[in-house]
Structure 1
Amino acid sequence: MKLIARNTFDNEQDSVLYNRIAWRLLPFLFVLYIIAFLDRVNVGFAKLQMSADIGLSDMAFGFGAGVFFIGYCLCEIPSNMMLQRVGARFWITRIMVMWGILSVSMMFVQTPNQFYVLRFLLGMAEAGFYPGVVLYMTYWFPSYARSQAMAWFNLGIAMAGVLGSPLSGWIMQTFAGVHGLAGWQWLFLIEGTPAVLLGIVVFFYLDDRPGNVHWLSPEQNQRVVRQLAAQRQAQEHAGAGHNFRAAFVNKDLWRLIYVNFALLCGTYGVSFWLPQIVQGLGIKSLTHTGLIAAIPFAIASVVMLVVSRHSDRTRERRWHGTLCNLASAAGLAIAAFFHDQPVLSLAGLSLAMSGGLAGFCVLWALPGVLLTGTAAAAGIALIATIGNLGGYASPFMMGWVKQGSGHLEYGLYVLAVMTLIGAYAMFSVKPPQQDRATVSAEPASI
């Protein structure tokens, strides 16, 4: 099985080379992202029990769920600059071990203020993981294959929902009261520990860059180094920025920042509140809540792979990204409008999640075309930094709307409008055209 489609490449030799790299890196990074996303959003399930135990209101939960992203955003750019300096292997190990320890520590929360503090620290600890992996992809894959590479990585979000929702519900229901601990305490303990263990594995498994890795032949090492170096030169020749300042003055990068912000608002708004939305449909069992909450993620996992392959094969990003944003906006509006009809509401959430996750795969293939070198490291982190404020804004907004109006669906309408604006921003992005003759199999258009 080829993780990256054969028709993405102009020759069989490149297909074999980059699929070998894909099989080495992507399944492992995919597992890491499942753990990361699960530790980030399992608080949505924990709320079903912990609210009564620690006196957590809907608005307080929304604030605490979102304050994670304040700490996350503060440390995003410094983290990515450090990764470029010290290498991905050491830096991702540091990130994972620290966030795993803090995630487990959530089991000891007893007051809303403690909840806020630990969520903030957890955001600081995890900062740099996602943009760090995006930057890491630029070290190993040419731009015309990155949408598929990002799809396999982002599949971790979908699988965290498919596997994590039922698992979280089962843990909380099964372990409640065991050894005197509440179900939500067991949830943080069981789901936080793998981050520490896998963080240690990262140090021994990942290689910082191609060039002298043992699982590629000397010829393959040199081929990938030569091709990616030639691509960077072609991008700079076509107008891609390469210094730190270039990341902050590129107008298209700021458009991508808003697109990422809007998509993250929708994705996290749905992810954090999905358990409450499902229970609002009349589902009482925690296990059944988890199984039903997994449906939108399961559908999205298929859609994102199909869209990313088509985007890479056609070497087109703008229309793919625009249509993904439109689909996500439509799904959010449908879920809100039919909030009292379970099947249609769930269908809308599935469409919203599918459009959102597929949109991420297309979006994150673009920064490495707009920017190179230090500018790419800063630019990728900048997109994630400001974009992830959506992870703060949407849970808090949803909590505020629900507490003030009693209607969670009003918040979904707001997210739909934001994502619709994101569709326009994505359509406005016009990356520099590159000379196809300069680099073998370089994309003809974006």
Structure 2
Amino acid sequence: MSSSSARLTDTVGTNPALKSAIAKASKHLMPMLVILYFVAFLDRTNVGFAEAALRADRGVSDGAFALGAGIFFIGYALFEIPSNLALKKFGARFWLARIAITWGVVAAAFAFTTNDTMFTVLRFLLGVTEAGLFPGVIMFLAEWFPNKVRVQMFAIFYLAQPFSQMIGAPLSGGLISFGDTLTPWHGWQVMFFVEGMLAVVAGIAALFLLTNSPAQAKFLNDEEKAALSNVMALEDKVRTEDGPNGIWRAMANWKVWYFTVIYFALQIAVYGTTFYLPQQVAGLLGKKVGWEVGLVSAIPWLVGLFACYFLGRAAHTIVRRRNWGTMLYIGTGVFILGSGWAGANNLPLLGILFITLAVASFLSVGPITWAFPTAFLTGTAAAAGIGLINSLGNLGGFVAPLMRTGINAAVPTDSGVWGVVSLGVFAFLAAIMVFATKFFKVAKSDELLAKEAPAVGH
């Protein structure tokens, strides 16, 4: 191990000022980041609750819905890397706030959807305006938190997904159910407008609550600033030695493309399940989408919340990250297949159980997956590499609904089982690829995980 690596490992493990700085940074930054992703994920996926209403009130066809659900990721992919580079230039505080405010305006505009074309255009614009939020936060966290605790921070950030669905599912269902009686609008219009405005408010708050770097943090004392800044500078040096330098080298790096494929497979499972979860639950229960379906749809996300947090805390060595990642991808595939089988055999309780376990698995494996590329990417290489992984990987969200709809049309069944089965196959591919990282050359950044991570208090 190099002298700088040894110094960093010792510092992370023993320096009280560093432990204090990490705890304070977690307390001051993570709530705002979770809120931003909460409303982003809510606005990204709430179309699932409006599908039937959009068809009845505005004539939005099944094909247009599938295209609109997926085309979000085309706009997202096109503007991901430019957005990440802009974040490096303007700072995370301003740029993340800008993203939230602009996507909130677009999300609210869905309340005025009139036809297939407008729905599709708005979904594309939602992707354009939200582009850069998720990878920007991943990059931001990689600049604030040492590798040893980074998966834990990623896991806390990921809690926004289950929170958004656990709280957002009954919220969306409730707005749809009661919107007609409480306002002159349709319930689905109220849902889109209210949830879009939440993003605008969150963006304004981010301007006041986020801080670009440890050196600028008013909540850290001088000793804590120095301890955290020094550790991150040493990690940057190690990552520079390990990984590619510059934008183009990062985009050409084979490891970046390797983890892009893994992330693509994960997004197939995530969005192929998430977009249709309300309908799948409604089918299992034999009820229409509304308040009751919204409450039941929140159960998988509640379980996933705890699984994501505790597994994120546990995955603080390279071996644990690889082993947990492999098992969770296998679990994702098995449980998705199980949910399809239960639906085909009219077993509602078993179907809900399998959906719950699938959601818990793919939520927990996300933070672990991001620990791999952030261990060797830094600077503009991180902006480009993380942006590339997320933008192309997220195209899985474009492919998933089209693939699921297409397979169900080609092999029609009452339960749509074959469309569900197709999602699980990609999770198994990701499991194989994560396990294969065992044969990668051990990098200096991996050596920094040799000792136990410091506890992060609140």
Normalised by the length of structure 1, the TM-score is 0.93
Alignment correspondent of 2:3: none
Alignment correspondent of 1:321: 325
Matched letter for residue 416 of structure 1: G
Q: Within 5 Å, which residues of 2 pair with 1:36-185?
A: 36-185=40-189
- TM-superposed CA distance for 1:403, in Å, is 4.2
- TM-superposed CA distance for 1:283, in Å, is 2.5
Alignment correspondent of 1:293: 297
- TM-superposed CA distance for 1:178, in Å, is 4.0
Alignment correspondent of 1:425: 433
Name the stretch that deviates more: 388-397 or 243-252: 243-252
Matched letter for residue 435 of structure 2: F
Q: Within 5 Å, which residues of 2 pair with 1:285-364?
A: 286-312=290-316, 316-339=320-343, 340-364=346-370
Would the aligned equivalents of 1:147 and 1:311 in 2 still touch at CA under 8 Å?
yes
Q: Within 5 Å, which residues of 2 pair with 1:204-243?
A: 204-237=208-241, 239-243=242-246
Alignment correspondent of 1:280: 283
Matched letter for residue 43 of structure 2: D
Deviation readout 1:168-217 (Å, 9 max, x if unpaired): 11110011254431110000011110111111111122111111321100
Q: Secondary structure in 2 aligned to 1:401?
A: helix
Deviation readout 1:98-148 (Å, 9 max, x if unpaired): 100000000000101110000001110000000000000011001111100
- TM-superposed CA distance for 1:315, in Å, is 6.5
Structure 1's 51 and 86: CA in aligned 2 closer, same or farther, altered over 3 A?
same
Q: Secondary structure in 2 aligned to 1:176?
A: helix
Matched letter for residue 87 of structure 1: G
Name the stretch that deviates more: 10-19 or 352-361: 10-19
* Residue 373 (structure 1) aligned with residue 383 (structure 2): no
- TM-superposed CA distance for 1:157, in Å, is 0.4
* In 1, Cα distance between equivalents of 2:445 and 2:171: 49
Would the aligned equivalents of 1:109 and 1:115 in 2 still touch at CA under 8 Å?
yes
Would the aligned equivalents of 2:17 and 2:224 in 1 still touch at CA under 8 Å?
no
Name the stretch that deviates more: 320-329 or 12-21: 12-21
Alignment correspondent of 1:4: none
Structure 1's 342 and 368: CA in aligned 2 closer, same or farther, altered over 3 A?
same
* In 2, Cα distance between equivalents of 1:350 and 1:435: 35
Matched letter for residue 287 of structure 1: W
Q: Within 5 Å, which residues of 2 pair with 1:186-205?
A: 186-205=190-209
Q: Secondary structure in 1 aligned to 2:219?
A: coil
Alignment correspondent of 1:252: 255
* In 1, Cα distance between equivalents of 2:61 and 2:351: 25
Would the aligned equivalents of 2:58 and 2:115 in 1 still touch at CA under 8 Å?
yes
Structure 1's 169 and 336: CA in aligned 2 closer, same or farther, altered over 3 A?
same
Unaligned runs of 5+ in 1: 1-7
* In 2, Cα distance between equivalents of 1:285 and 1:116: 22
Identical counterparts, % of pairs: 35
* In 2, Cα distance between equivalents of 1:432 and 1:228: 20
* In 1, Cα distance between equivalents of 2:138 and 2:370: 7
* In 2, Cα distance between equivalents of 1:12 and 1:140: 17
* In 1, Cα distance between equivalents of 2:406 and 2:38: 28
Structure 1's 315 and 322: CA in aligned 2 closer, same or farther, altered over 3 A?
closer
Q: Secondary structure in 2 aligned to 1:195?
A: helix
Would the aligned equivalents of 1:315 and 1:444 in 2 still touch at CA under 8 Å?
no
Matched letter for residue 423 of structure 1: A
